Amino acid sequence: MITQRPKGTQDWFGSNMYKRTLIEELARELCRTYNIKEVITPVFEHTILFQRGVGETTDVVQKEMYTFQDKGDRSITLKPEGTAGAIRAYLENNLYAESQPTKLFYVTPAFRYEQPQSGRLRQHHQFGVEFIGSKSPLAEVELITLITTFIDKIGLKNAKLHINSIGCSNCRKTYNEALLSYLKQHEDHLCPTCRERMGKNPLRVLDCKVPSCKEIVKDAPRTIDYLDEECRDHFMELKSLLQELNIPFEVDTGIVRGLDYYTKTVFEFVNEEGFTLCGGGRYDNLIHEVDEKQDIPSVGFGMGIERIIYFLDKEKVELKAEPAIEVYVGILGREAKAAAYKIVNQLRTAGIITETDYMDRSVKAQMKYANKIGAKNTIIIGADELSKNSVVIKRMETGEQTEAALDKITEYFTV
């Protein structure tokens, strides 16, 4: 073999592929009921989109992006997340000129150079939603209810909603001053990256994963203590709506999210082991960062599909079984091959999951194979069956046999 797959990537097949398909089907089904339309954006974008949108002081931009110069000497980046590309598409295609709000969802590959762990891969897949055009906390509530329903339907247990408010640019200035003052008292014990970030964007220090930094920020000033009236009212209304809808939540002042575009609400769904299943929040300034002529509020979330599969397996959640092969059509003799395959095609056209022989096996070997792949019924078609227009259907589980007209075989399996 020439090579192996790159570290942090995955081949999709078998049961994992089936789980991924179910997750994506559920995501699409829920989005249809919420009138959220699908958007597909390029796998790569101009690097400046992520630098401006995601934030130059974030770990994503500083450490994790796959960036390269293309043959036109342009800086191109494989998308590290779905939001920036969706917002760029919204602006470039003038979706803001349509009736608002605009609600978009995507299932997309994303690329981050980080250490693979607990369902996080360097190439992973995100299910995400962008709700654009509304300032109301009801937009956040809509996404939270969708995620709550998704988690419930997929079968994950004990996932709890954590919420926080990190304010807007108005109150952030006062908060940053208080935070910077606190961090300067502990500057000698911060990691080099955090010492650099202090002057540019002190909020990013709160998101550092280095243990010593995490210990320091435990006692840092809290964003919710510095909210201005508008941000405080927004957060109060959000909590009130969640309470009225009986959606349990915990105010977690440690949540700031890892991307610079967040304002006001940030939220995460966290399992009982403390792992984040998905996260999101409001980003009212993001569109303005991408296009200074526009100032449109938005809110969204992202959910890693690999991470969901990881915890489904960890919690031993049984998803609905993959549909069984309804009938295996065995072929006896070369002269029956075309006629038998015609029957196979008729059954498949009627929506019946059908399999047959492609390996020129003996009838005995075909029956062993049919049993191995879990076929519910088998039939053998040879010269005699064709001349008599009659076939014996064997139910594999019980061994029960039934005779049926060959030209009525489709009706037999669809009644």
Contact 258, 58 (CB under 8 A): yes
Angle at 212 between CA 207 and CA 217, to 5 degrees: 45
Q: Is the previous residue joined to 116 through a cis bond, with omega within 30 degrees of 0?
A: no
Alpha helices in 67-133 (DSSP H): 83-92
* Lateral strand order in the sheet of 327-331: 354-356, 327-331, 377-381, 390-395, 401-405
Integer angstrom CA distances of residue 335 from 56, 57, 381: 69, 71, 10
Q: What is the pLDDT of residue 241?
A: 97
Q: What secondary structure does DSSP assign to 374-400, as a single string?
A: T-SEEEEE-HHHHHHTEEEEEETTT--
**327-414 to CATH, choices 3.40.50.10800, 3.40.50.620, 3.40.50.800, 3.60.15.10:** 3.40.50.800
Q: Which residues, at least 6 apart from 82, have a Cβ–Cβ distance to it below 8 Å?
A: 41, 106, 108, 110, 126, 128, 302
Strands 377-381 and 160-165: unpaired
Provide the residue count of the chain: 415
Q: What is the pLDDT of residue 258?
A: 60
pTM of the model: 0.89
Contact 99, 117 (CB under 8 A): no
Q: Give the bridge partners for 121, in sequence order.
A: none
Integer angstrom CA distances of residue 242 from 31, 147, 247: 20, 13, 5
Distance CA 387, CA 345 (A): 20
CATH of domain 14-168+228-314: 3.30.930.10
Strands 354-356 and 327-331: parallel
Helix (H) or strand (E) holding 177: helix 169-184
Contact 267, 280 (CB under 8 A): yes
Q: Domain spans of the chain?
A: 14-168+228-314, 327-414
Q: What is the pLDDT of residue 98?
A: 96
15-49 b/e with 16+ CB inside 10 Å = b?
Answer: eeebbbebbeebbeebbeeeebeebebeebbebeb
Alpha helices in 275-382 (DSSP H): 286-290, 305-314, 337-349, 363-372
Count CA atoms within 13 Å of residue 185 on its CB side. Answer: 10
Low-confidence stretches of the chain (pLDDT beneath 50): none
Residue found by looking up tokens 């979706």 in the block: 95
DSSP conformational letter for 189: G
Distance CA 226, CA 166 (A): 9
Q: Which residues, at least 6 apart from 22, have a Cβ–Cβ distance to it below 8 Å?
A: 319, 320
Tokens of 83: 């939001």
Q: What is the pLDDT of residue 259?
A: 63
Q: What is the pLDDT of residue 54?
A: 79
Phi, psi of 329 (to 5 degrees): -100, 110
Residue found by looking up tokens 């630098």 in the block: 51
Contact 83, 289 (CB under 8 A): no
Integer angstrom CA distances of residue 114 from 92, 141, 348, 358: 31, 31, 44, 44
Distance CA 64, CA 128 (A): 20
Quote the mean pLDDT of the chain.
93
Helix (H) or strand (E) holding 207: none
Distance CA 365, CA 95 (A): 59
Phi, psi of 402 (to 5 degrees): -135, 140
Say yes or no: do domains 14-168+228-314 and 327-414 share a fold.
no
Q: What is the pLDDT of residue 57?
A: 64
Phi, psi of 316 (to 5 degrees): 55, 40
Q: Give the bridge partners for 281, in sequence order.
A: 266, 300
